[in-house]
Amino acid sequence: MAFGSGKYQFEVVPGWGRLPDGWEWGWICGVACDSQDRVYVFSRSAHPMVVFDRDGRFIASWGEELFGPENAHGIYIDKQDRIWTTEWLSHCVRCFTTDGELLLTIGTPGTPGAADGDPFNRPTDAAPASNGDLYISDGYVNARVHHYSPDGRLLNSWGSHGSGPGEFDLSHCVRIDRRDRVWVCDRENRRIQVFDLSGNYLFEWSGLKQPDTIHFDPVEDVLYMAELEQQVSVRSLDGEVLAAWGGGEKSEEPGLFAACPHGIWTDSQGSLYVSEVQANGRLQKFVRL
Measured over the CA atoms of residue 73, residue 114, residue 152 and residue 165, the dihedral's sign is positive
Count of CB atoms situated within 10 Å of the CB of 59: 11
**Per-residue b or e along 25-56, where b marks 16 or more CB atoms closer than 10 Å to that residue's CB:** bbbbbbbbbbeeebbbbbbbbebbbbbbebee
The rounded mean pLDDT for the chain is 97
Model confidence over 44-77: pLDDT tens digits?
999 999 999 999 999 999 999 999 999 999 999 9
pLDDT of residue 143: 97
pLDDT tens for each residue of 246-287 = 998 899 999 999 999 999 999 999 999 999 999 999 999 999
CA gap 234, 261 in Å, rounded: 14
Q: What is the domain partition of the chain in residue ranges?
A: 2-288
CA dihedral of 186, 120, 122, 114, whole degrees rounded to 10: -120
The CATH number of 2-288 is: 2.120.10.30
Mean pLDDT score, 176-191:
98
Mean pLDDT of 130-159: 97
What digits encode the pLDDT tens for the residues 93-129?
A: 999 999 999 999 999 999 999 989 999 999 999 999 9
Concatenating the DSSP letter of every residue in the chain gives -EEEETTEEEEEETT-SPPPTT----EEEEEEE-TT--EEEEEESSS-EEEE-TTS-EEEEE-HHHH-TT-EEEEEE-TT--EEEEETTTTEEEEE-TT--EEEEES-TT---SSTTSS-SS--EEEE-TTS-EEEEE-SSS-EEEEE-TTS-EEEEE--BSSSTT-BS-EEEEEE-TT--EEEEEGGGTEEEEE-TT--EEEEE-S-S-EEEEEE-SSSSEEEEEETTTEEEEEETT--EEEEEE-SS---STTS-SSEEEEEEE-TT--EEEEEESSTT-EEEEEE-
- Answer yes or no: is pLDDT of 92 > 90: yes
Q: Give the Cα separation of 29 and 7 in Å (integer).
A: 28
- CA-based nearest residue to 175, from 153, 193, 156: 193
What separation in angstroms does the CA of 168 have from each of 45, 127, 188, 200? Answer: 29, 18, 8, 14
Alpha-carbon gap, residue 159 to 90, rounded angstroms: 21
- pLDDT of amino acid 193: 98
- What is d(CA 79, CA 247) in angstroms, rounded to the nearest whole number? 32
The rounded distance, in Å, linking the Cα atoms of 244 and 218 is: 19
